[in-house]
Amino acid sequence: MHILVIGGAGYIGSHVVKELLQQGAKVTVYDDLSTGQQINLFPSAHFIKGSILDTDTLGHAMAQNVDAVIFLAGKKAVGESMQNPAKYATTNLTGAINVLNIMLEYGVNKIIFSSSASVYGSPEYLPIDEKHPVNPMSFYGFTKLETERLLKWYSDLKGIHFVALRYFNAVGYDANGDIKGLEKNPQNLLPIIMEVACGIRPLLTIFGHDYDTPDGTCIRDYIHVTDLATGHWKALEYLKNGGKSEIINLGTGKGISVMEMLQKTQELIGHKIKSVFDTRRAGDVAVVTASAQKAKELLNWQAQHSDIDSIIQTTWAVYKNSMKNV
């Protein structure tokens, strides 16, 4: 099977590529390296540098007997999407339209799409299953939802088979240390904790400690990126075996609070991480957890590496190692 991994040099993409190579697939990575990194590329995967907005280069990549596409490329900073919707509309929406049109042009009819739990908006019940109403609270979430809708139309009209995977909070690193790229200026909790631990940032700001949760801080469903990667392979197998187009959550069903993440990191790395409490961050809700039932039933997938110790230890290993090279 030849898989075109669009966005394969990024944090999640590189873990997906590793999984595909381990499974014996032929892989071509397509990435413009805007946020993806050269260091995340595997020598055994073919690499084409290009943007999803460059239809000529994308067409050249798609022309090479591709059996399926894994489409991860896109902008993903929630806050930035609210300030610069045009950038998100262009990259995420025009980009998705380009990918789908070029798939049609070259007769490629299977795609796994990186969607996000942000399509749900504020939870009406927990855990969130795929039947939960969708009501994105950010422009970023809107672009993910619109792409899911595009996929549905292309599926109905043109026979594209898709699985849209709604990721919850992606964390962790490859346990063998094969993926070393660190995100520049990360906006998410665990990489920020790690940057403080490494002395790159002075402190962690905890956004709100008056939520209706046991310790007053927000609870999220953190899913190890290696588990996400396995989910992509299982979704491909599902489509290959004739499965119909679906939208599927990838999460653990369990929640971890900001405070638990901080305290456990301090315990595992053996030193204190400076933090301060601040007011709530706009748009945050107290608790988000996923129902992972559908993934289990349809894909025979469930999280295996997403316990808090594995999440923190695999992430710390990469950060600690990077400090040696400073």
- Closest CB to ligand UDP among 8 and 251? 251
Check if 140 is active-site.
yes
Which of these ranges, 46-54, 198-206, 293-301, 315-323, lies near ligand UDP under the rule CB under 6 A?
A: 198-206
CB of residue 15 vs ligand UDP: minimum separation in angstroms? 17
Angle at 80 between CA 77 and CA 81, to 5 degrees: 85
Site membership for ligand UDP, residue 290 (CB under 6 A):
no
Choosing from 54, 130, 260, 284, the residue that interacts with ligand UDP (CB under 6 A) is 284
Residue with tokens 């346990």: 175
Nearest to 319 by CA among 173, 138, 119: 173
Whose Cβ is closer to ligand UDP: residue 71's or residue 211's? 211
Strand partners, 113: 71, 164
Residue nearest to ligand UDP as judged by C-beta position: 218
Query: What is the nearest approach in angstroms of ligand UDP to the Cβ of residue 321?
Result: 22
Q: How far is the CB of 10 from ligand UDP (least distance, A)?
A: 16
Residue owning tokens 């927990």: 126
**Alpha-carbon gap, residue 90 to 19, rounded angstroms:** 30
Look-up of token digits 């610069």: 84
Nearer to ligand UDP, 154 or 222 (CB): 222
| Nearest alpha-carbon partner for 173 in 314, 309, 19 | 314
Question: Is residue 15 within the footprint of ligand UDP (CB under 6 A)?
Answer: no
Q: How far is the CB of 53 from ligand UDP (least distance, A)?
A: 25
Q: Which amino acid is at 220?
A: R
71: CB partners within 8 A, 6+ apart: 6, 7, 96, 99, 111, 112, 113, 114
Q: How far is the CB of 171 from ligand UDP (least distance, A)?
A: 8
Under the criterion CB under 6 A, does residue 9 sit at the interface with ligand UDP?
Answer: no
Specify which residues 276 forms β-bridges with.
Answer: 205
Contact 29, 70 (CB under 8 A): no
H/E stretch holding 277 reads strand 275-278
- 189 touching ligand UDP, by CB under 6 A: yes
Write down the least CB distance from residue 258 to ligand UDP, Å: 5
Is position 304 an interface residue for ligand UDP (rule: CB under 6 A)? no
Cβ distance to ligand UDP smaller for residue 106 or 207? 207
Q: Does 169 bind ligand UDP (CB under 6 A)?
A: yes
**Binding of residue 188 to ligand UDP (CB under 6 A):** yes
- Count of residues of this chain found to bind ligand UDP when the rule CB under 6 A is applied: 14
Q: Interface residues for ligand UDP in 242-281 (CB under 6 A)? A: 258, 281
DSSP state of 244: P
Cis-peptide, bond into residue 123, ω within 30° of zero: no
Q: What is the rounded CA–CA span in Å between residue 109 and residue 159?
A: 7
Q: With contact defined as beta carbons under 8 Å apart, do 62 and 102 qualify?
A: yes
Catalytic pick among 30, 140, 154, 238: 140
CB 123 within 8 Å of CB 286: no
Among positions 199-228, residues that touch ligand UDP (CB under 6 A) are 204-207, 218, 220
Active site residue ranges:
140
Q: Which residues of the chain form contacts with ligand UDP (CB under 6 A)?
A: 169, 187-189, 192, 204-207, 218, 220, 258, 281, 284
